[in-house]
Structure 1
Amino acid sequence: MISTLKQLGLTRKTHRVSDLIEALRTALDQAGDGSSDFDLNPDFELPAGRKLRPAGVLVPISVIGEIPHVILTKRSSALKHHPGQIAFPGGKQDADDRDVTAAALREAWEEIGLPRDLPKVIGHLPDHETVTGFRVTPVVALLEQDFELRPEPGEVDEVFSVPLAHLLDLDSYVVESRHWRGVQRHYFTVPYGPYYIWGATARMLRGLAARMKR
């Protein structure tokens, strides 16, 4: 699938980008601890001395349309890990990456064709620890220019967008649960149309929503 943000319906700008940037910076500058996939499972004890691998994900907020949207991906159903799940563009930090921000920008280029110099980085959310042993840093950035979407074959099945207002509404989030490694694990979800956004992605988005409400 090859398309542009305009083909996704993001064509007019009637909001004030400067106000959004100011609100995001104020939210991201707030002090606070990180999060984890186990936030809703207080009885679970994370192993002491565990080593987490650094990773960066991009939270790309498009402001070229009538309303701001967050761009997300649907992982390929053929992948070994997390097939078919909704995710931010991003991945582990490689040896050649300067930092987790560089890793997020590189992965976004590889996964969806987003030029590395296009996102305007606003700031970072606190790190999020995943069940797979990563310390993920969400990099919040604005997109003010269109680009040609190029989902990476074999890794990304679909690129889509969700209105930022939906993701910043705490009432959009629902706590659900399932059995995982013999225990009942609870987690956040933030459904949107046919898309079931859950787990680490939903938790990080909810963290942003909570900060924007303060």
Structure 2
Amino acid sequence: MTPEQFASRFCLYNLQNNKPITRFEPNSKTQNAAVLVPVIKRPTGLTLLFTQRAKHMRHHPGQISFPGGKVDPDDNSLTFTALRETYEEVGIDETKITTLGWLPSFQTISNFSLHPLVGLIEDISDLTLNPGEVDNAFEVPLSHFTNRDNHHIISPCVNNTNHPVHFMPYQGRLIWGATAAIIDQLILHFE
């Protein structure tokens, strides 16, 4: 799939289908967070960029995620939050990112209202990882996720309600939870 085909299909799908996903109810302590879903243009095709959170982090230590975080009081928009966090975590400047739009937001079990922004990024050569937040970063071909055989779901019961938890293993790494749920929503654009 070319970057142009990706952008076109993403935008056309979003015009029709972008409703929030409610799995857990927000409350007075819910915090807004925004992540960037970085789609990288590579000569061999499109990839998704992931970070592995630093092991000393308070929330989700060592987990695989997209660059992002909670909204700071000085942030003027969710887009600003996603782009600021991406720069802080992996050093990709917003001038290299073409934002395409939002995937459905959803409430996480850790009490965040999570807003995923999809961004197309030109082939990048170097990342500058912030060791205070990120242990490492890696890419996975988008084609890995368009194959539904690589998606796994379990539905544990929490507060008398079944909640789907997504799992997507890749080369010894386990992408799961909110990150995998975001990927699941992204792939709906291409089915």
TM-score of the aligned structures, taking structure 2 as reference length: 0.89
The residue identity in structure 1 corresponding to 2:40 is S
Q: Is the 8 A contact 2:18 2:103 kept in 1?
A: no
- Percent identity, aligned pairs only, is 33
Q: Which stretch shows the higher mean deviation, 98-107 or 147-156?
A: 147-156
The residue identity in structure 2 corresponding to 1:19 is Q
Indicate the SS of the match to 1:197: strand
The separation in 1 between residues aligned to 2:171 and 2:135, in whole angstroms, is 17
Indicate the SS of the match to 2:174: coil
Displacement after TM superposition at 1:102 (Å): 0.6
| Partner deviation per Cα, 1:86-132 (whole Å, 9 max, x = no partner) | 00000111122121111000000000011122110011111121112
Coordinate RMSD, CA, aligned? 2.4
Displacement after TM superposition at 1:167 (Å): 1.7
Q: Unaligned 5+ residue runs, structure 2?
A: none
Residue correspondences, number: 191
Provide the residue aligned with 1:193 in structure 2.
171
The separation in 2 between residues aligned to 1:162 and 1:28, in whole angstroms, is 23
Provide the residue aligned with 1:27 in structure 2.
13
Indicate the SS of the match to 2:16: coil
Displacement after TM superposition at 1:186 (Å): 4.5
The residue identity in structure 1 corresponding to 2:17 is A
Provide the residue aligned with 2:32 in structure 1.
54
Indicate the SS of the match to 1:166: helix
Q: Work out whether 1:174 is the aligned partner of 2:152.
A: yes
Q: Work out whether 1:105 is the aligned partner of 2:83.
A: yes
Please show how residues 100-139 of structure 1 align to structure 2 within 5 Å: 100-139=78-117
Displacement after TM superposition at 1:173 (Å): 0.7
Q: Is the 8 A contact 2:25 2:107 kept in 1?
A: no
Bigger CA radius of gyration: 1
Change (3 A) 1:194 1:211: same
